[in-house]
Every structure is written in structure tokens, then in C-alpha cells.
Amino acid sequence: MRYVITPTQFHNLVYGYLNRMFSKKDFRKDVIDGENWRIDMFDDKERKLISYFWYGPDEYDDGTPHNGIGSLHVNPKIVDFIRNTFSLRESKVLDIIADWVSETLGVDIDEISVFPKRPTPPNY
């Protein structure tokens, strides 16, 4: 049986799931160096599932300046679980997780990736 819900209801459902999976006590912030820092998010089994990195204003390798970069790494286990539970494509799951992290931490996210890479392709 399928139920039709609004996009807002769906967003709230996934946010609720993420809020239950992670509590702020499971966030660990480390300074990398200077203006660069990271926040790791662990589940109740001490598995690191999400890492947010902030790289302060600097230059890209080609010399082009940037105002700072927020990079998000999401463990494939959480991506696959949400994708399978809610029948979503991976890019949609990553967008929702990025929105949740952005709102939860009050940060900007410029890039997002699945990390570590899967040893085998996911089953779609």
C-alpha cells in the first residue's frame, strides 16, 4: 500500500529520522589548523556517519580565491538506508541530508559526497 504525502510532510519525516539518529552530544568538533575545522557525527553505536569540513578563505590549487568551502561526507550506510526506506534516488537523499546538516549546524554546504566509497555498487 502506498500513501501520498506532501513534500513538507516527507521532509519532516526524514528530518525526524535524522534527529532521532543523531543528537548534539554525538557531534565532535576538531580544529584542523587555522580557520579549518570539522564536525563528525556519530550514531549511538559510535559509528561516524557524517563529517562536515570547513575550509576557511584561501585559494584553489589554480590560484583562484574562494571565500570558504563547506564540504560534507556522508557514509554510504546512512545513504543506502534512507534511500531504501523511502524509495529515493541517491542524489535526493544527499540533498535532504545536506539541508538537515545545514539547518542543524547553521553552516553552508558547497559540496557533498559519499565517503568512504562503496567497495561495490549499491543495489538499486
pTM for the model stands at 0.86
Residue 122 has pLDDT above 80, yes or no: no
Q: Residue 110 and residue 19: Cα distance in Å, rounded?
A: 22
Task: Give tens-digit pLDDT for 7-50.
Answer: 888 888 899 989 998 877 789 999 988 889 999 999 888 889 99
pLDDT at position 50 is 96
Grid coordinates representing 118 are: 562503496
Minimal CA–CA distance to 19: which of 104, 109, 114?
104
Confidence of residue 123 (pLDDT cuts 50, 70, 90): low
Minimal CA–CA distance to 75: which of 27, 117, 15, 120?
117
Share of the chain above pLDDT 90, in %: 52
